[in-house]
Every structure is written in C-alpha cells, then in structure tokens.
Amino acid sequence: MIGKELDAALADCNAAMKNGRRNSQVLDERGLTFLRRGDLDKSIEDFKAALKMQPKDSNALYGLGVAQAKQGSTGEGDKNIQAAIAINPSIADFYKRLELEP
C-alpha cells in the first residue's frame, strides 16, 4: 500500500523489534517506512544499522542514498545509490514506484 498505513507499518516494525526480531530485514523495512514518512535521520540510522548486518543489501543502500541526498549529502547519497544499482539494477525501479527518488 504505497504511501498508506505508514503508522501501522511503523508499529509492526517496532513490535517485531521489541519481540526480538532485530535483524537487517526489519531495520530495512523500518528505514523505508521512516523515509516514506520524511523522517530522514531515523531512516538513515536504520539503513546504516541494516547495512552493518548485511553490507550488500541493495534496498538499504539505495534507501540510505535517497535519504542522504534529500538531506543534502548528495555526493554520499549518489555513491550509495550507485553501489545499490551495481548490486541490483532493478532497485531504482522499485524506489521509483514508491515515488522515492533522490
């Protein structure tokens, strides 16, 4: 549900983490939810935490890049976006469908 039910999505991610499921996938999803809500600092924090667990996670890399670019760190953002595309060329299309472009 693109752009819908973001509060519920965030609650689900937080509940999963509270119940011991603090893994890269949950952090990645929560980072994406924060990005969609416009909370760039929290988004960046979660994407970085996900990448510590899974350094080649194209979704977390791309999301981190978008958040960084939106925050004004375009050089760092572009670097992460290009790294994500090198891993998974279709990741840009996914973010485009979500209307989350740098």
Domain boundaries, the chain: 6-97
Instruction: Please calculate the CA angle 78-80-81 and round it to the nearest 5 degrees.
Output: 65
Helix and strand numbers, DSSP H then E, in the chain: 6, 0
HSE-up of residue 22 (Cα within 13 Å, Cβ side) = 6
| pTM greater than 0.75 | yes
* Cβ pair 98, 2 in contact under 8 A: yes
CATH of 6-97, one of 1.25.40.10, 3.40.50.11890, 1.10.8.60, 3.40.50.620: 1.25.40.10
Residue 46 clears pLDDT 50, i.e. is over it: yes
Distance, CA of 96 to CA of 81 (rounded, Å):
13
pLDDT-based confidence at residue 91 (cuts at 50, 70, 90): very high
Residue 18 clears pLDDT 90, i.e. is over it: no
Collapse the DSSP code of 63 into the 3-class scheme (helix H, G, I; strand E, B; otherwise coil) and give the result: helix
Distance, CA of 3 to CA of 75 (rounded, Å):
27
Quote the mean pLDDT of the chain: 88
